[in-house]
């Protein structure tokens, strides 16, 4: 069974996409690292966009789960905390994957607008839930701000010199996000 090669391609592509950016990564570069030629990649993935879709799936699924969970929750402070924690978990679990969207949003849009739209829509829905029912403008802004704080999970590793454990990151960022909402 040669899901092996398919997986290897996916892994290498994920790493390059998230560090160099989607558009800045050529299929030649990926092929080289895997130990194949460009043409052989096309046997496994029908296009660069198809490769991106395969890579991105877990993140979309993860967020969808959080969204489903949130939809069935009343908007209490405890539930807000819980939902934020779950969003943070998904982000930490898919760190490099989120990096693709932060490094080269424009490239993703150009290659696969529908993928990007899915992410934006889910971000909107999560922020909407966080803002609560019939939110004021300020509450909406604070909800967006809280999600931005969670995004700091990723830039953080680039900014900080020392390694930070996932547990500390989880604890501090969750509290910080709640603080951004003044909760």
Residues that bind DNA (CB under 7 A): 2, 5, 25-29, 31, 35-40, 42-44, 46-49
Q: Give the nearer residue to a second copy in terms of CB position, either 35 or 179.
A: 179
Among the residue ranges 32-40, 54-62, 66-74, 136-144, the one whose residues contact a second copy (CB under 8 A): 136-144
Q: Which of 2, 4, 71, 159 is in the footprint of a second copy by CB under 8 A? A: 159
CA 68 to chain centre: 17
62/107 with CB nearer a second copy: 107
Cα–Cα distance measured from residue 91 to residue 78, given in angstroms and rounded to the nearest whole number: 20
Q: What is the DSSP string of 92-124?
A: HHTHHHHHHHHH-HHHHHHH-HHHHHHHHHHHH
Q: Which two tokens stand for residue 167?
A: 């547990």
**Least Å distance between CB 53 and DNA?**
12
Contact predicate 94/56, CB 8 Å: no
Tell me the closest approach of the beta carbon of residue 60 to DNA, in angstroms: 21
């Amino acid at each position: 069974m040669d899901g092996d090669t398919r997986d290897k391609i996916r892994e290498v592509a994920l790493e390059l996409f998230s560090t160099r950016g989607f558009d800045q990564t050529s299929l030649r570069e990926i092929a080289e690292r895997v130990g194949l030629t460009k043409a052989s990649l096309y046997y496994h993935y029908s296009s660069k966009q198809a490769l991106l879709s395969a890579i991105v799936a877990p993140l979309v699924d993860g967020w969808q789960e959080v969204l489903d969970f949130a939809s069935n929750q009343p908007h209490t402070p405890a539930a807000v905390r819980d939902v934020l924690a779950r969003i943070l978990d998904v982000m930490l679990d898919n760190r490099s994957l989120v990096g693709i969207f932060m490094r080269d949003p424009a490239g993703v849009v150009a290659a696969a607008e529908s993928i990007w739209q899915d992410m934006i829509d889910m971000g909107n829905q999560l922020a909407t839930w966080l803002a609560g029912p019939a939110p004021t403008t300020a509450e909406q802004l604070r909800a967006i701000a809280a999600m931005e704080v969670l995004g700091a999970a990723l830039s953080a590793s680039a900014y900080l010199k020392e390694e930070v454990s996932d547990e500390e990151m989880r604890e501090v960022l969750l509290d910080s996000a709640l603080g951004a909402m003044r909760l």
